[in-house]
Chains A and B, each alone.
Chain A
Amino acid sequence: MKKSTISRSKRTAAKAATKPASKPLVAVRKAAQKPVHATRSAIRRAVRSVAEERHQADA
């Protein structure tokens, strides 16, 4: 078998140039489709902090 005269690094670069752009991760695609809602843990933190502030103000 005839040995290629193109170096390994050049072959890799050429392959990358012809390769279609990779698809984004499924999780990223799904996140982009979903509206941004606060997570339950963020809501819980907000509810607790307000309750604590009210409690301190009442005390």
Chain B
Amino acid sequence: MPERATGAATYDESIFFNCPFDDAYKSIFEALVFAAFDCGYVPRCALEADNAGQVRVEKILAIIRGCRLGVHDISRTELDGANALPRFNMPFELGLFVGAARFGDRDQRRKICLVLDRERYRFQKFISDIAGQDIREHGDEPERAIAQLRAWLAALPRKDVLPGGTAIAGRYRAFRSELPDILAAMGVHPQEMVFADYTNIVSTWLSEKPRSANPGGRGGPKRPPAA
């Protein structure tokens, strides 16, 4: 049960995002990150590992260990344009997460995950072993992805009430309309914005603009982990 107060994220409040990081998926990824913050959680992903001197898989394992929740998007099944080979990172990291939930300690066994694809039953054709997981479709639409994430989070045992998917999407649109000006004021070109910049901007924007309706009495969005 997430505490609704600003501060460092705990295991229960952290969501591991395992998804493509390419330009084609960027609109969905950034929408999901915003929705996670707006629901009081902290999104974490392998992009945190990009600037560290640590072996990448070790960093990913550390992030998985620190997140009770996992959102895995397996929609990127196309062959890579340059190499004509598929990307296996997402299924691999999904396997790591499920393995931690199966074989880990008591805390790790409390892990739960949401699997996203563009169509609901498409996974049966390429990764049928995950049947039985919570698999939902986003249709390559950011606002649908927000709605699916919100619905999944809302089903978890909790004391407060999450805003609806429509409300989150509305706030996200308002945020997107201001983002270019915020970046300009910071002196950051949009192409230079890294994951740490984006998460810091989102959490700051949300803390500056609390929802008028505050059903859960939440204190504000969580802060992203320090870079």
**Residues of chain A having any CB pair with chain B under 8 Å:** 33-35, 37-38, 40, 42-51, 53-54
- Is B134 an interface residue when CB atoms closer than 8 A count as contact? no
| One of A35, A37, A40, A53 near B204 (C-beta < 8 A) | A40
Once the chains are docked, how many angstroms separate the CA of A43 from the CA of B196? 12
Q: Please classify how large the interface on chain B is, using the bins under 10, 10 to 19, 20 to 34, 35 or more.
A: 20 to 34
User: Which of chain A's residues have a CB closer than 8 A to the CB of B182?
Assistant: 43, 46-47, 50
| One of A33, A35, A37 near B200 (C-beta < 8 A) | A37
**Residues of chain B having any CB pair with chain A under 8 Å:** 51, 53, 178, 181-183, 185-186, 188, 194, 196-197, 200-201, 204-205, 208-209, 223, 227
Given contacts A43-B204, A47-B208, A50-B181, contact A37 B186 (CB under 8 A): no
Q: Which of B53, B204, B208, B227 is packed against the most chain A CB atoms within 10 Å?
A: B204
Once the chains are docked, how many angstroms separate the CA of A48 from the CA of B183? 12
Cβ-closest chain B residue relative to A45: B185
- Assess the B186–A38 pair: CB atoms within 8 A: yes
Once the chains are docked, how many angstroms separate the CA of A6 from the CA of B186? 58
